[in-house]
Structure 1
Amino acid sequence: MMIDLAIFNGKFYFPEYKRVEKLSPLLPSIYEGIKLLKKISKNEILDIFHEYSKNLIKSTEVNKIEGIAFLSSWLKRNNFIQIVEKSFKDLDYLENFIGDKKRIKAQPRGIACHWIAGNVPTLGLFSLFQSIFVGNANILRIPPKSHKTIVALLKVFAETTIDSGLSGANLLTSVGIIYYNKSNIKANIELSEIADVRIVWGGDSAVKSITGLPKKAHCEDIIFGPKYSFAVFDKDAVISKNFTRYLRFLVSDIFLFDQAACTSPHVVFFEKGLKNIEEITKDLVEAFNRAIKQFPKIDIDQFITSKIINIRAQYALDLDKKVICPTENDWTILANDQIQLEEPIESRTIFVKEVDSIMAVIPLITRKIQTIGCAIDDKNKLEEFADEVTFRGVSRCVNLGQMHLFDSPWDGMLFMSRLVNWVTLYYGK
């Protein structure tokens, strides 16, 4: 078997990969990386992350990558501290034994192995930076189409320095980025058997193929599997002065990542009220037309293009359905009265539906639903709706425009707390 290394021990081999036959001989240097992380204070790591957040926006090489604004905001010191505090309450648990006679500390688990999906390359960095912060070594298996993006982002990180002289390159001594063909079962098994934590981002088949691999008995599995998201508008939001702004936020959620993310809305439900669906659709068309001028389509996937053409034709031939779209494949609005979740088409294709009440979507909820973007002005109504849908499995109810904002908890878990091993120390009798 052959494995390509783009980065290992903070050294950059890209685009000329270093090729190895096995990962196991590299483990001693990985463990040295963990020891180095232990010597670096959490405040220094926070400083590096914060400086990196600024450098991402400054760098002309990476600042146009989709999702960079979110990643930059997420890495800022104040935001990252909030994420840490949600998982640990006190940052000090990561550096000291806390308590009186019974003392508790959060130690790193060891080696975290990440299998990263190819649809949204930056997602892998959200799990990587949290794992670095708690002190784990990390090996990321990245699909080839994401390599250039990840390596470019980590080069900016490696070059980020703080006043103490520490840099992102110091933190990358414990990080490896690898690639091997998905048919390389031996490489997958070896990576799995190395892991103290397995972190899997991907679709159903990818998740099953990895979770079924041999692993250490103590290995923790963290799965970010296939998810589905949609949006809802209540009748008061539709006639409110904020409606145009809500539509603009909805369209931004649709455009970002071209609906390839698990947080992308594919259906939007409008509650019946003073404004009918035809009027609403006209307003949505205006929002699409404004957005396309600012964010024209660049990469057009031929397979998805054929799906768009087919679904447009189906709707055009059905009197009970309606298709609204420009001549080009810039965006597509598909309207029907069936209260159901539709199969995602992606590439700025949205299904619009009218419902008597937003509560009519509750029977559609399963644990596969990750995020619901909400335009509900009445706080009591919003809380009632959120309580019902989250009880049935939805992980996040958020404002429109924030559907892709990576937060904690995510997918129903406090991710960082699962990357550590909670240990105890007793004083006295």
Structure 2
Amino acid sequence: MQQHFDGLTFVIGDEAQLQAMPDLAPFPPFAAEMLALLQTFSRLTLRDDEAKAWPDVISLGFWCRAASLNQMRAAYGDLAHRYGRGVALHIAPGNVAANFAYSLFSGLLTGNANIVRLPGRDHLQVPIIVRLLCAALHEHPALAPYICLLRYDRQQGINDALSALCDTRIIWGGDETIAQIRRSPLKPRALDIAFADRYSLAAIDADRYLAHADKGKLAQAFFNDTLLNDQNACSSPSLLVWLGVETQAAREQFWQHFQAFAARHYPLEPVAAVNKLTRLYQLAAQYPGVKKVSDDDNLVVRVELAALTPGVMALRGNCGFFMEYVADSLNDMTPLCDARCQTLATFGIEKTTIDAWLAARRPKGIDRVVAFGQTLDFTLQWDGYDLVALLTRNVANTL
């Protein structure tokens, strides 16, 4: 059936290239050609003056370094009989600027041709990344047919046409976005991978924090986890759980350091300040014992909870809005660790303690446990999915 693509705006590629993608031969995962393309992108990015103004763009460049890519490859065993599934359609989220690139690069590393719907929001980082990717493709023209970047509004006909081309569809977004895209049928053997809207938590041992020598550095790490992207990423913590004895002293020092760093590096928009106060009032109206424990400048709004009730995470905020709870143990967090809970960021808590808690409580959520400063570090195992396994097919050769 003839597909119609009226309404598409191509940023990289064109309609003829798009139509030809299903006929491209997939590469094996971590193919030398793909590695070379991403390493060129890394080199160009890390030398680019405009890119250096954006930490998330530079982080993307570091992610594509040869050492980083080799480490990813080393994490997998024998991939000799795996090949990309074919065409991957990526529906990028609107709230995190560089996410489309990580999704695209995952598709390239697993040997696929890739169609990417760019975020609809006007992130300034997106044209920088696109420009650098175009420059990298100029040095690797044979791989240009494997990448189409495009934009379009929420048009069912275009979703239908693009979904009919793909062998894997990767959807980043909220429940409504996922439901809308899933109205478009896939080929019988095509797969859907949905990265739904989720939330993340942080847990910190107060006594070990007080003994920590470089509290300023830890404040910067938590800033990178949160305010670097306005807490818009699912992996950015919105609730901080305190453990230990000296929780009051630790909280005072932690937030003093964090507030000082944020004051130098985070511009507070008036609308964000209003939204944070609105969220505070909503929480206080619905959950008894909620109280504001931060000062009055609204750069950082801290809300102390009297209990960890599962529904409270639906009222999480962003742009410097943090809920806090003083817990007796990790067990207190269990009610919040349902399927919507993605990442647990920790400081001062032993890995064995976390492993024992996970084994005992077996929560349906928490797909990642990372140290402070690492919540935004994208890997090929994300949201509980192994992207190398899902974006490739295995040829079972029993000869």
| Partner residue, 1:269 | 241
* Secondary structure class of the residue paired with 1:374: strand
Q: 1:374 offset after TM fit, Å?
A: 1.0
Superposed CA offset, 1:272-311 (max 9, x none): 41x243x33321332223222442227x383x44321324
Q: 1:207 offset after TM fit, Å?
A: 0.9
Instruction: Give the CA RMSD over aligned residues.
Output: 3.0
| Partner residue, 1:407 | 379
| Partner residue, 1:73 | 62
8 Å CA contact retained: 1:312, 1:323: no
| Partner residue, 2:231 | 259
8 Å CA contact retained: 1:233, 1:358: no
Superposed CA offset, 1:87-120 (max 9, x none): x4135x2xxxxxxxxxxx2122111111111000
| Partner residue, 2:257 | 287
Change (3 A) 1:39 1:240: closer
| Partner residue, 1:350 | 322
Aligned residue identity for 2:54: I
| Partner residue, 1:17 | none
8 Å CA contact retained: 2:345, 2:375: yes
Which of 17, 21, 27 is the matching residue for 1:30?
21
Is 1:134 aligned with 2:110?
yes
Is 1:297 aligned with 2:267?
yes
Looking at structure 2, the residues matched to 3 and 174 of structure 1 have their Cα atoms a distance apart, in angstroms, of 21
- Identify which range, 231-240 or 306-315, moves more after superposition: 306-315
* Secondary structure class of the residue paired with 1:113: strand
Q: How does 1:97-136 map to 2 (within 5 A)?
A: 105-136=81-112
8 Å CA contact retained: 1:321, 1:335: yes
8 Å CA contact retained: 2:29, 2:109: no
Looking at structure 1, the residues matched to 358 and 29 of structure 2 have their Cα atoms a distance apart, in angstroms, of 41
Is 1:368 aligned with 2:340?
yes
Is 1:3 aligned with 2:7?
yes
Pair member with larger Rg: 1
Aligned residue identity for 1:61: E
Looking at structure 1, the residues matched to 305 and 21 of structure 2 have their Cα atoms a distance apart, in angstroms, of 55
* Secondary structure class of the residue paired with 1:232: strand
Aligned residue identity for 2:374: Q
Change (3 A) 1:7 1:323: same
8 Å CA contact retained: 2:178, 2:196: yes
Q: 1:40 offset after TM fit, Å?
A: 12
8 Å CA contact retained: 1:111, 1:136: yes
8 Å CA contact retained: 1:158, 1:169: no
Looking at structure 1, the residues matched to 243 and 142 of structure 2 have their Cα atoms a distance apart, in angstroms, of 53
Change (3 A) 1:422 1:201: same
| Partner residue, 1:225 | 196
Q: 1:143 offset after TM fit, Å?
A: 2.9
8 Å CA contact retained: 2:204, 2:243: yes
8 Å CA contact retained: 1:246, 1:375: no
Is 1:155 aligned with 2:131?
yes
Superposed CA offset, 1:330-384 (max 9, x none): 2222223222343221001111111122221123210111100012343432332
Q: 1:62 offset after TM fit, Å?
A: 2.4
Is 1:332 aligned with 2:332?
no
- Scaled by the length of structure 1, the TM-score of the pair is 0.81
Unaligned 5+ segments in structure 2 are none
How many residues get paired?
389
8 Å CA contact retained: 2:110, 2:391: yes
Looking at structure 2, the residues matched to 174 and 136 of structure 1 have their Cα atoms a distance apart, in angstroms, of 7
8 Å CA contact retained: 1:315, 1:323: no
8 Å CA contact retained: 1:229, 1:372: yes
| Partner residue, 1:16 | none
Q: 1:193 offset after TM fit, Å?
A: 1.4
* Secondary structure class of the residue paired with 1:71: helix
8 Å CA contact retained: 1:390, 1:396: no
8 Å CA contact retained: 2:28, 2:83: no
Looking at structure 1, the residues matched to 103 and 289 of structure 2 have their Cα atoms a distance apart, in angstroms, of 47
* Secondary structure class of the residue paired with 2:230: helix
Q: 1:266 offset after TM fit, Å?
A: 0.4
Q: 1:51 offset after TM fit, Å?
A: 3.2
Aligned residue identity for 1:251: F
8 Å CA contact retained: 1:204, 1:225: yes
Aligned residue identity for 2:224: S
- Scaled by the length of structure 2, the TM-score of the pair is 0.86
Unaligned 5+ segments in structure 1 are 12-22, 94-104
Looking at structure 1, the residues matched to 283 and 42 of structure 2 have their Cα atoms a distance apart, in angstroms, of 44
Q: 1:186 offset after TM fit, Å?
A: 0.8
Change (3 A) 1:251 1:150: closer
Change (3 A) 1:316 1:227: closer
Is 1:62 aligned with 2:51?
yes
Q: 1:138 offset after TM fit, Å?
A: 1.0
Q: 1:121 offset after TM fit, Å?
A: 2.1
Looking at structure 2, the residues matched to 90 and 380 of structure 1 have their Cα atoms a distance apart, in angstroms, of 29
| Partner residue, 2:78 | 90
* Secondary structure class of the residue paired with 1:402: coil
| Partner residue, 1:309 | 277
